[in-house]
Amino acid sequence: KIAREKHFEERAVKQAKQREQAVRAEAGHKEELLPPAQRRRWEEMAEIGMSERHRETVEAVVRTWTTNWGVTDNSSETGGDPGARQALIKQGFREVHVDEALEHTTTREQALDWLCVHVPEDDLPQQVMQRAYRASATVVTSDERALSVQLAAKRLARAGFPTSKCKIMVGQKLDEQPDMPDALSAAEASAAHTMLSQLCERSLPPVSDVDEDSVRAGVDDEVQMLDAIYAGEDRVSRPNAYQINVDLRPPEAQLCASDAQLVFWLPPGLAYPEHLPAVALVSDQMPAYLKLHVARQLNMQLNNDGMPVLFEAVSLAEQMVEEWLQNPPLLAGLLGAMAPEQIKPTAVKTVKRNAQKKKVHVQDTQRLCAEFGKLQVNTEYQRMQKARDALPAAAQQEHIAQLVADSRCVVVAGATGCGKTTQVPQFILDQALKSGEYVNIVCTQPRRISAIGVAARVASERAEDINAQRGGSVVGYAVRGESRQSRDTRLLFCTTGVLLRMLVSTPDLETVTHVVCDEVHERSVDSDLLLVLLRQCLQRNKRLRVVLMSATAQCDVFAGYFGSNVPVVTIPGRTFPVEDVYVEDFIAQQSSSGMQEIFGAASVGKAKAKLTNALEKGDDEWLAHIRKMRAHGCSDTQAACVSAWDDRFGQASGATLIDYEMIGSIINHIHTTAPMDQAVLVFMPGVAEIQACIDIVQRTARTAFVLPLHAGLASNEQQRVFGRAPSGQRKIVVSTNVAETSITIEDIGFVIDSGRVREVRMDHVSRVARLITTFCSQAAAMQRRGRAGRRQRGTCYRVYTRRGQDRVMPPHTMPEILRTPLEQVCLQTKDLGYPDTRQFLDGALDAPDAKAVDSAERLLVAVGACERVNGPLAGLGRLMAQIPLDLRLSKTLIFGAMLNVLERTLRVVAIMALDRPLFSSSFATRDSARNSRMQCAMGRSDWLADLCALERSLQADRPDCVSPVLVREARNNIRTLRQCVDQLGLVSTDPAPAMPEAEELRVLQAVITAGLSPNIARVRVPQQKFQQVSNGTIAVDREARELAFYAVDETCDEHTWRSHDVRNDRRVFVHPQSTMFSETKYASPFVAFLGQSANGQKTFLRDVTAPGIYGVLMFGPKVRVDHECKVVVVGCGGLAVRAWPRIGVLVGQLRVLLDELLRRKLDDPQLSIHDHPVVLAVLDLVRTDGR
């Protein structure tokens, strides 16, 4: 019996609790019905807010600029939702509002978002109302005047006017008439009169010298009449000389509130009754927009015939108020004159990307053919023709021209020095001009210097000056940002990227007759994508001919790609003998003192000791290696020194280590032994290494004429390498691999090959594509070697050993499409106009794995580059595709420029682009490196700490453990990155307004988060603990080890926070080298990170940033809103916060507007976006974190 009674009691308690939960759920607390696990997670979520000021600003921007609410689809449904109307009405929305929402949207989720933004806060149903909502807040101030203005503004706000506008208006009126009796009441009346005139869109009556006593007497008579009419009802009151209140009591009131009053304001100087007073509806129980609607209708319908209107106004209001309230205004046009002024949307300027088609003029062709005939007797042309005839390619002219005429595709395999680059395009051009046929040849080069250099050479061979631009030039070039072509141009040299852009605008290349692709064996991503497009284009354009030119290797692969009957023409090379000198060969020529100068006395001593020890212990393997070097003239001591050198500089892990002293010794040797007219070409991997090498050269060979050569130089700077050195000086060109192919520097007699190259590789820890210094392939080394024998016998000094060459240098360069992150390839593919990347890339020469492509597609969606898998690029994605950087770096750069923190963002991205950490350290010095980094800590971000270190280094205050080489490389990166944003028009012409340091750091945190997204982890903060003290309790500071971090896979399939199982999230830890390792305070429950690394059973987050909550909401993964449980989800469901749904909708729509603005910017580079209302709203939200 006792057990049964206990059971009944427990069941009764449970049922009572369920009833209570149902009641709370009906009132808008849907979380009460969640299962226990979801309920616990909901309670653990951080709760966020947005200040009233920010809400007003963002709402105004969203309402003004949004034209299509369909793009904020939270559902995969399409078409109308028949049950949406009833469901929304059941939630408490007014029928007229629901109908208006469904006119602008198609699904219930879209309509709910629309209503959340457009329905005024004080008219929202209880279920979607913000918890503890207050329509207005009172701010306490000790300033008597400010307090008076604030109270007056609060009184005016009861009529529906925005409090902020009331405060401004009352303050202005008070300043205009400070000495008037009862000045505050007069200012309040004047403010009301002005705002109502704006509301009704009518001009203010002129202020005149009126008889105030006469006006007041007339008003007193009207008030007495009202008292008589409403005798015994106590409906009329007069708080001051400028205001009259009359209670509103319409018959059969249903919608009008019981506390409604009509308030009349008669400001000083108003000639009443010639001019109407201001009249408004005041109530604490009605939405502001309805009160303004009634006031507008009433003021518009009052007769302005010079007669008293107080009683007329009351009668009209009581008669019509119910009807007015039954037909509220459209929400879409609710801003009116009361909202903050915004720039009205203008039509999006659309720039057609279709290139203007070149008209085929028969007369032009006939004229060019005639001019070509006259060219045959030109003395300069004849002299150049003799030089052309001496090239090996000349013997194949007729054969190649005939093959191109008979075949749709031809492969030309030419060895170094055969002349294929300059001659094959001319063979086609000459054949067409001789036969009188129209021709338009586009010849691609892998680099801009090659395109410009080859075009200049070919033009000179045809007795043309490509830079003169007087009259017509048959030869021209086009590279990004620079072009030399005219109506007569029939042979255009361009970079591969330029032709890709042409194929986007004219996919069939209707006006092009021949496409010649040079150096296709380099297998860049652009080159491989171009081959796919050309193969498709050949099927559509039956007139088009394609010629592929390559080194002799892999020609059959290219021929087979375009069909089984593609002919291959082989042209032998013409080079002079080149002597190879490896490190062991160079050292064999050195004396004992020379060795000590190169290696250092200590290193030579260690090598001798190791040799003695090996001989005593019988280290056969090492001694065998020493004996091999004896065959190249080395003594045992020299061989031991070379072996020790090779162990340091010849390992795969030592690719970033370059022995500049060795290079300096080689240059000094050349400089003192070889004729001065023989130039030296030094191959270095990157700009920083070029500068370091130049420093060594200028120290060892003071009379050298040193020139850098790399892609970052302007064209006129690049062209300097083709000139001669001043008398008495030796020309030394220090270049990246841009000098490997296509260009010929006539006077090169020596090549010094560092054996290194900078290639785009995936950093497997951070998953960021960076330019990594690595060893070049043996095939590339052979190309470099050939540069020394183009015009004379030459020597190639290889700054590596034979053993190092076999050990760390692969035979051929891996195709870039196989070593570049696939998301980068997919981005380029979509930018070419092919959204289904898997289908497109299946046709590539080396098709990537389909699953990897799908994964890359999901990542593009996660970073915001496109809206859906296999979908077109969003505005952000289109801009990112124009920047030749990793996705994360380009995204960081775009938002940094947009949010007016470009200068510091350039430095942060320059650090991110480095191939090793700014604070580099070995295991032994890691504590010192961390201490140095901690001294630079700022902004709760490792990247901002590195920024501080770089800024100090640039000001000659370099912290310990920061490499000067990395600082130099970062400086060069900044210069290159600035060129990128300049070309896209992202640099504001006006100086950015200064921000307080704390706010600027918050914006930088958001910008960094934008780049690192979707690498965002969840922070779980334990409950606050308290300690008992003598006078109460105090909060106990948390320890860093109490915080828990969880990594979420943001590229997984989309799902809601309810279905996300947090138990599957991986526990991770902040890396000990991070400045955030001991941090206990976080502005939001999220951290952004660059990469992860594992050590035993723990996974560590590297390069961590703790952004504000709006940095994540605005720039993190896509935002979704759970209206029922009032949860805002960031991404796939693993990251979520509790918030008023209105906040989530505003943020989501603001993100859509931001992307649309980026799309417009790309279409119109002249569009200024830095001062655009959308950007300003985002910036204000981020820098204050919504407060």
Q: What is the CATH number of domain 68-128?
A: 1.10.8.10
| C-alpha–C-alpha distance, residues 411 and 399, integer Å | 13
Higher pLDDT, 99 or 802: 802
What percentage of the chain reaches a pLDDT higher than 90? Answer: 15
Who contacts 699 (Cβ-Cβ below 8 Å, separation ≥6)?
664
Give per-residue pLDDT as tens, 760-805: 776 655 566 677 888 999 988 988 998 888 778 899 999 999 989 9
State the pLDDT at residue 1054: 57
Beta bridge partners of 102: none
977 pLDDT above the threshold of 60: yes
Q: Is 757 helix (H, G, I), strand (E, B) or coil?
A: strand
Greatest mean pLDDT among 136-150, 230-244, 527-541: 527-541
Backbone angles phi, psi at 1137, to 5 degrees: -140, 155
The pair of structure tokens assigned to 1015 is 């690498």
| C-alpha–C-alpha distance, residues 272 and 324, integer Å | 27
State the pLDDT at residue 19: 62
Tell me what the pLDDT averaged over the chain comes to: 82
State the pLDDT at residue 693: 92
- The whole-number average pLDDT for the span 1097-1119 is 87
132 pLDDT above the threshold of 50: no
Higher pLDDT, 388 or 17: 388
State the pLDDT at residue 70: 60
Backbone angles phi, psi at 926, to 5 degrees: -65, -35
Can 144-338 and 819-1009 be said to share one CATH topology? no
**Which of 114-118, 335-339, 750-754 is least confident?**
335-339
Give per-residue pLDDT as tens, 878-900: 888 888 888 889 999 999 988 88
State the pLDDT at residue 340: 46
Architecture of the 578-591+654-815 domain: 3-Layer(aba) Sandwich (3.40)
State the pLDDT at residue 752: 95
| C-alpha–C-alpha distance, residues 585 and 258, integer Å | 103
- The whole-number average pLDDT for the span 466-487 is 78
Cβ(294)–Cβ(255) below 8 Å:
no
pLDDT band with cut points at 50, 70 and 90 for residue 532: very high
- How much of the chain is in helix, strand and coil states, percent to nearest 5? 50, 15, 35
Greatest mean pLDDT among 805-814, 919-928, 971-980: 805-814
State the pLDDT at residue 639: 87
Give per-residue pLDDT as tens, 237-249: 888 888 888 888 8
Ordered by start, the domain boundaries in the chain are: 2-33, 68-128, 144-338, 362-571, 578-591+654-815, 819-1009
Q: Of the CATH numbers 3.65.10.10, 3.10.110.10, 2.120.10.30, 1.10.12.10, which one belongs to the domain with range 144-338?
A: 3.10.110.10
At 165, the amino acid letter reads K
Give per-residue pLDDT as tens, 6-47: 777 777 777 666 666 555 555 445 556 667 777 777 777 888
Cα of 453 vs its chain's centroid, Å: 33
Count CB-CB contacts under 10 A for residue 224.
11
Q: What is the CATH number of domain 819-1009?
A: 1.10.3380
- The whole-number average pLDDT for the span 812-833 is 86
- The whole-number average pLDDT for the span 260-286 is 86
State the pLDDT at residue 1052: 64
139 pLDDT above the threshold of 80: no
Fold held by 362-571: Rossmann fold (3.40.50)
Half-sphere exposure of residue 879, counting CA atoms within 13 Å on the CB side?
32
State the pLDDT at residue 925: 66
142 pLDDT above the threshold of 80: no
Higher pLDDT, 1063 or 193: 193
- The whole-number average pLDDT for the span 154-172 is 84
Residue 794's alpha-carbon distances to 38, 157, 1055, in angstroms, are: 75, 88, 65
| C-alpha–C-alpha distance, residues 877 and 315, integer Å | 61
State the pLDDT at residue 567: 92
Cβ(905)–Cβ(854) below 8 Å:
no
Higher pLDDT, 69 or 340: 69
